[in-house]
Amino acid sequence: MAKSVLLIFFLGLLFTFGAAADPGPLQDFGVAQAGTAVHLPGNTSNAVSSRVTPALAFLLPGRNTLGISMARIDYAPWGFNPPHAYLLATKILIVLEGTVNQNPGVITVANAVFGSIPDIAMDILAKAFQVDKTIVGQIQSKF
């Protein structure tokens, strides 16, 4: 009887260690590949003068199972990041060159409202933003 209790105890202890182990700790970091373009500056010749380059695991081998998302953001002088919000996430910014004057807050509000498909009715947008329908039409034409 004592032997079977001891055997069950050790088997239970063995399964506990097996269940608590990281499924693939060797996948957390990998060897960098020279073919990725994450280290290259992004093209900032667009309406907001900035470019976001996501550093996803398939673009940046070496960031596989860490459970984080990263991105490189390049700003031209006077470039900006449009207002956006993160659902259930946080943001950490590290500035390598230059300065950032504020962090207002990724759902890009302008794209979601003025560039939605199907369009949100002009009457609703004009009333919500307290502007004329012609202004709403001008804004929607940008998207």
Listing DSSP states for 68-100 in one string gives: ---EEEEE-TT-----EE-SS-------SSS--
- Structural domain spans, the chain: 25-100, 108-142
pLDDT, tens digit, 9 for 90 and up, residues 28-80: 555 555 666 666 778 888 888 888 887 766 666 555 556 666 778 888 888 87
Residue given tokens 């907001």 in the structure block: 48
Tell whether pTM > 0.85: no
| CATH superfamily membership of 25-100 | Jelly Rolls (2.60.120.10)
Q: What is the band of 102 on the pLDDT scale with cuts at 50, 70, 90?
A: low
pLDDT value at residue 101: 64
